Amino acid sequence: MEQNSNHTNSQDTVQETVQNPETTQTQSPAEAERQKAKEDQRRNRREKRACMLLASRGQEFALLLLRVFFGIMMLMHGLDKAENFSALSTTFPNPLGLGSWFTLLLITSVEIGASVLIILGLLTRIAALALVIAMCVAAFFAPPAFSLAASELPLLYLAVYVILLITGAGKYSVDSILRRIYCPKESQKRR
């Protein structure tokens, strides 16, 4: 009986061997499992790196930066016009024939009001549309004759506001909060 129990113990201590084709060494099942787990981890890390490079995670943050930066820049233009309103009101370009004073009032209001809305991400597409119209007038109708040198800054702003008109404010905005409140079904589809 003692012999029989020794026989079973010796069977328990003998390890099964698994042939590893890469190393042509014999491994225990536990070692083979650890090796497989390490290979899986390496593969997962490579896949994560590739996905990180290909993913578009930064789009929402980039829209926030774009909105805030260009909103502040345009706001500064509008505040400058508001501070010098009386001096500018007689000499301000009048490309649409509305009068210098009224044109200055209109562009100053749009530059200040729409910029604040864009910075907040509130009614972004409407604000961007107002600024697109203003920048088209500034680029194509305000200078005596269209030239790239004279219209470069308005064209740059125009490009940014067209992008915001197409994309909207993005995830980090008041528009996004309002969309979740008033359009919950649409918000769930976007996720």
pLDDT digits (tens, 9 = 90+) for 106-130: 999 999 999 999 999 999 999 999 9
CA–CA separation, 172 and 81 (whole Å): 30
CA torsion, ordered 146, 148, 152, 158, to nearest 10 deg: 60
Best CA proximity match to 175, nearest among 58, 73, 167: 167
Tokens of 86: 């009386």
Would the pTM count as exceeding 0.85?
Answer: no
Instruction: Report DSSP state, residue 94.
Output: -
For residue 63, is pLDDT > 80? yes
